[in-house]
Structure 1
Amino acid sequence: MRYRRMYPAALCFAAFLAAIGLILDDPSNILPGLWKIMITEDALITDYMEIAGVGAAFVNSALVTLISIGILYLAKDPINGYTVVEIGLMAGFALFGKNIVNIWPIIGGTFLYAKLRREPFYTYASVSLLATALSPVVSYVALDNGWGNLPAGVLVGILIGFILPPLSAYTYKIQNGMNLYNMGFACGLLALILAPVMSSMGADLSTNYHWATGYNLPLGAAMGGMCIVFIAAGLFFCKRPVWAAWAGYRRLLQTTGRAPSDYLRMLGSAPVLINMGVNGLIGIVFILVTGGDLNGPTIGGIMTIIGFSAFGKHARNITPVMLGVVLGGLLLHQDLGAGAMQLAMLFGTTLAPVSGYFGWPFGIVAGFLHSAVVLYAGSPVSGLNLYNNGFSGGLIAIVLYPIITAAIRHRKPELQDEDYFDAFEHDTPTVPPPPGKEK
């Protein structure tokens, strides 16, 4: 009941996405563009704005968002900060890889997994949505001429959805809460198996590079305006005094962001909305200042940051990581305006807990490492895992955590199994312990 306005707000967000598409493009281009999106093999990087137009891309994003909202609502998934993550992430990646067709087999596979275990689907609803990171596998198998076919694509998607719930539960533990994109790491591991198996069966896997340009002004205005609305809503429309909302946001900035950190339950909606707006503006500024492009993939990255603003990310722990990626690009002689570096800058904030937990210098180190690792982490999986930065972030987190903890901080590394709240029994959050005090 505390969050009963979440779904109406999410519907307004979907309407906003559709409005962007209708305003920035000729409506007559949208249906042909949607069809083109559905019949495209969309391995990384396939910018739907480039191949189908800005209108079709944003309408696809709006429709995928509506589907996600409907699944969460019908499954009666408990509303918390991770609900914001799921909606933001699905909306963002629907601009470059997920569409209204290729997500369904994976969702169906997770549904079958829940039924096999005789558990309610809401237990796995979030997993079913995030597992669609491997939607390009479904599209490739279903559409590839001379190799796959539609029934095979559906079956492979169901298999992916069936496997990822237990796999992601395991990978969550070994990353010690330092990589926020746990599903990206799990999907990366599965893709490492799928890609060579598919290749050995005759598939000709290859990455894509479809990258739209020329939308900085309209998309910057639209996304910047949305972020300002978030900040204003947090300050003035959450039934809390302005000073109390701002004080809550300042408390939020003191958290480490180590997963799981559900800011919605810990601090309420007002600080979270402010955090969403501020983080979104930071993402926009970084893209524009470094000479990047606002398009499907980068807007997807900004939406992901906005979503995770309810679950671990804030200005103090994402900025060092982003600066580390910029530093890595400069020292390693990478073009900061290149698509891979722009995405590394945005999605590299999966390592924000490293900065928040150990301090900003370690956040810069994590970002620096990520700028190099992520450029090669996608090669073995041929772009089949949309959450490639989550896979890279997981590798870095697994290596960095024991080194920093044992060698520098002189403490015994321990796995993080605890949750900071119980989404099913409590509505009052447990404030996370300060750094170094976890059991």
Structure 2
Amino acid sequence: MQGETMRYNRMHLFFWLYAAVLALAAVLFSSPEEILTGLRTIVCTEDSLITDYVLIAGPGAALMNSALVTGISIVLLKLSREPFNGFSLVVIGLMSGFSLFGKNFVNIWPILLGTWLYAKSRREHFGKYISVGLLATALAPAVSYIALDNGWGNPVAGLITGVIIGFIMPPLSAYTYKIQNGMNLYNVGFACGLVAFLLVPLISSMGATPTTQYHWAEGYDLPFGAALGTLCVILILAGLFASGKPVLSVWAGYRRLLTTSGRAPSDYLRMFGAGPVLVNMGVNGLIGMAFVLGGGGELNGPTVGGILTIMGFSAFGKHVFNIAPVMAGVFLGSLVMHWELNNPSVQLACLFCTTLAPISGYFGWPYGVLAGFIHSSVVLYTGSPVAGMNLYNNGFSGGLVATVLYPVIIAVFQHRKPTLVDQDYFDPMEHDEPVTPPPAHQITEEKEV
């Protein structure tokens, strides 16, 4: 237990340092007056996709909002009394990233309240559901829209809607996980998409007129690129030289990490330790930046949020060998489909398509390319029916693709019996030290028919 406490404290300090860096960057970008004015604009905006806070409120306000949301997430994770692990890094990555374009320090609270009420109704500790509650804030734009839409919604209706969303997300996300067989890392995004598909028609039938938005900042490649690149390099160096392990040991751990499929749940922090995970985060962040800039895209709120998401999931399923084929599939789609790689929605698809990384890691790179190719088209059409209310739209489309591809690949191409991974590769009572993952044949637990 002492080792677990030490790891918890180290991650806690690391998270607060990250939040402080975001706040410092905000002050460097904008004056305090501009930040306060921008935060007011953010809170009073309806937030549906794509609403880039960098454009509507300025980079300082966007980064300060990210720092505030990150701080709230850290406090809630600590109060939950649940030990930090790889998924904690996922939560921080998503919350900080998406608070650059859709989540703010006000519209997330009704959903969190709903999740807390669900835990109380079950007479269980809130810590069991805190991660789901935080990720369910993908539907925070629905709260903002209903609360702020002049002539239709009101704050009370927005509050009630958020509470209902937070209340139903824990059981719904538990169910959707089962039908995706661990092949879609953004499981909560899939669940949120289902809720949005019910919610938007409901409020539209009552007179609301929600629509997708297009607020996309340009011209920030140099400052955001320099900041992100520096962060990634620091993570790599910290993993190699400041993790308390010999460099060769860290590198060997990273090489073993690259052999995993990434099928959920795969907690890399508990499987390999901090060093290889930090290296993986830095490498994947640089890959995300290279893909955006190489495709003629922009570094702004949404794309930086996508890169931070990739870096967060680098502790829970993503690595260069399983994300590259899926991203290549999106690139292939740009060559034959009627859209360009520098289209904003496609840029986001290039980053968030990595939700399907387990397909590539589990079945092989050709299937990863296929998944990315299909996803690049599907994701462009799943946002409109939900009017941009689900920030994890790629998670929803990724869930659709995974649900279809998994049984088809298993039955038609590989002739195996499908099984579900229920447990992660570590002992939940003894996870102080990294655990080497079992051999591939034990991981898949599948037999030839």
**1:95 paired residue number:** 100
After superposition, what is the alpha-carbon deviation per residue over 1:242-268, rounded to whole angstroms, capped at 9, x for unaligned? 111111111100100000000000000
Q: In structure 1, what is the Cα distance between the partners aligned to 2:402 and 2:121?
A: 33
Q: Which moved more, 1:128-137 or 1:417-426?
A: 417-426
Q: Secondary structure at the match of 1:381?
A: coil
Q: In structure 2, what is the Cα distance between the partners aligned to 1:126 and 1:171?
A: 16
User: How many residues are paired up?
Assistant: 439
The structure 2 residue matched to 1:294, chosen from 299, 313, 317, is 299
Identity %: 64
After superposition, what is the alpha-carbon deviation per residue over 1:29-73, rounded to whole angstroms, capped at 9, x for unaligned? 000000000000000000000100000000000000000000000
The structure 2 residue matched to 1:305, chosen from 310, 314, 317, is 310
Distance apart, 1:416 and its partner CA:
3.1
**1:67 paired residue number:** 72
Note if contact 2:272-2:436 (Cα within 8 Å) is conserved in structure 1.
no
Note closer, same or farther for the CA distance 1:378–1:31 as it changes in structure 2 (3 Å cut). same
Q: In structure 1, what is the Cα distance between the partners aligned to 2:107 and 2:444?
A: 44
**1:196 paired residue number:** 201
Note if contact 2:184-2:355 (Cα within 8 Å) is conserved in structure 1.
yes
Note closer, same or farther for the CA distance 1:129–1:423 as it changes in structure 2 (3 Å cut). farther
Residue 356 (structure 2) pairs with residue 351 (structure 1): yes
Q: In structure 2, what is the Cα distance between the partners aligned to 1:283 and 1:236?
A: 24
**1:438 paired residue number:** 445
Note if contact 2:48-2:391 (Cα within 8 Å) is conserved in structure 1.
yes
Q: In structure 2, what is the Cα distance between the partners aligned to 1:8 and 1:329?
A: 42
**1:79 paired residue number:** 84
**1:237 paired residue number:** 242
Distance apart, 1:426 and its partner CA:
4.9
Note closer, same or farther for the CA distance 1:236–1:426 as it changes in structure 2 (3 Å cut). closer
Residue type matched to 1:250 in 2?
R
Distance apart, 1:412 and its partner CA:
1.9
Instruction: Structure 2: give runs of 5+ residues left out of the alignment.
Output: none
Counterparts of residues 76-155 of structure 1 (less than 5 Å): 76-155=81-160
Counterparts of residues 288-437 of structure 1 (less than 5 Å): 288-423=293-428, 426-427=431-432, 429=435, 431-434=437-440, 437=444
Q: In structure 2, what is the Cα distance between the partners aligned to 1:267 and 1:377?
A: 36
Q: In structure 2, what is the Cα distance between the partners aligned to 1:430 and 1:107?
A: 35
Q: Secondary structure at the match of 1:97?
A: coil
Note if contact 1:40-1:139 (Cα within 8 Å) is conserved in structure 2.
yes
Distance apart, 1:357 and its partner CA:
0.5
Counterparts of residues 268-287 of structure 1 (less than 5 Å): 268-287=273-292
Distance apart, 1:204 and its partner CA:
0.5
Note if contact 1:77-1:125 (Cα within 8 Å) is conserved in structure 2.
no
Q: In structure 1, what is the Cα distance between the partners aligned to 2:128 and 2:315?
A: 20
Note if contact 2:270-2:431 (Cα within 8 Å) is conserved in structure 1.
no
Q: In structure 1, what is the Cα distance between the partners aligned to 2:136 and 2:262?
A: 22
After superposition, what is the alpha-carbon deviation per residue over 1:164-214, rounded to whole angstroms, capped at 9, x for unaligned? 000000001110010000000000011110010010011001000100000
Distance apart, 1:420 and its partner CA:
2.4
Residue type matched to 2:401 in 1?
I
Q: In structure 2, what is the Cα distance between the partners aligned to 1:363 and 1:320?
A: 5
Residue type matched to 1:194 in 2?
L
Q: In structure 2, what is the Cα distance between the partners aligned to 1:294 and 1:211?
A: 10
Q: In structure 2, what is the Cα distance between the partners aligned to 1:9 and 1:394?
A: 32
Q: Secondary structure at the match of 1:165?
A: helix
The structure 2 residue matched to 1:265, chosen from 261, 270, 285, is 270
Q: Secondary structure at the match of 1:5?
A: helix
Q: Secondary structure at the match of 1:115?
A: helix
Note closer, same or farther for the CA distance 1:421–1:79 as it changes in structure 2 (3 Å cut). same
Q: Secondary structure at the match of 1:379?
A: coil
Q: In structure 2, what is the Cα distance between the partners aligned to 1:86 and 1:433?
A: 28
Note if contact 2:265-2:421 (Cα within 8 Å) is conserved in structure 1.
no
Q: In structure 2, what is the Cα distance between the partners aligned to 1:432 and 1:5?
A: 27
Q: In structure 2, what is the Cα distance between the partners aligned to 1:11 and 1:299?
A: 19
The structure 2 residue matched to 1:11, chosen from 10, 16, 36, is 16
Residue type matched to 1:265 in 2?
R
**1:37 paired residue number:** 42
Note closer, same or farther for the CA distance 1:419–1:38 as it changes in structure 2 (3 Å cut). same
The structure 2 residue matched to 1:168, chosen from 167, 173, 181, is 173
Note if contact 1:47-1:95 (Cα within 8 Å) is conserved in structure 2.
yes
Q: In structure 2, what is the Cα distance between the partners aligned to 1:45 and 1:36?
A: 16
Q: In structure 1, what is the Cα distance between the partners aligned to 2:48 and 2:159?
A: 17
Q: In structure 2, what is the Cα distance between the partners aligned to 1:405 and 1:124?
A: 32
Q: In structure 2, what is the Cα distance between the partners aligned to 1:147 and 1:7?
A: 42
Q: Secondary structure at the match of 1:18?
A: helix
Residue type matched to 2:192 in 1?
C
Q: In structure 1, what is the Cα distance between the partners aligned to 2:431 and 2:146?
A: 43
Q: In structure 2, what is the Cα distance between the partners aligned to 1:2 and 1:376?
A: 46
TM-score by length of 1: 0.98
Q: Which moved more, 1:198-207 or 1:18-27?
A: 18-27
**1:53 paired residue number:** 58
Note if contact 2:169-2:191 (Cα within 8 Å) is conserved in structure 1.
yes
Q: Secondary structure at the match of 2:150?
A: coil
**2:220 paired residue number:** 215
After superposition, what is the alpha-carbon deviation per residue over 1:88-113, rounded to whole angstroms, capped at 9, x for unaligned? 10000000000000000000000000
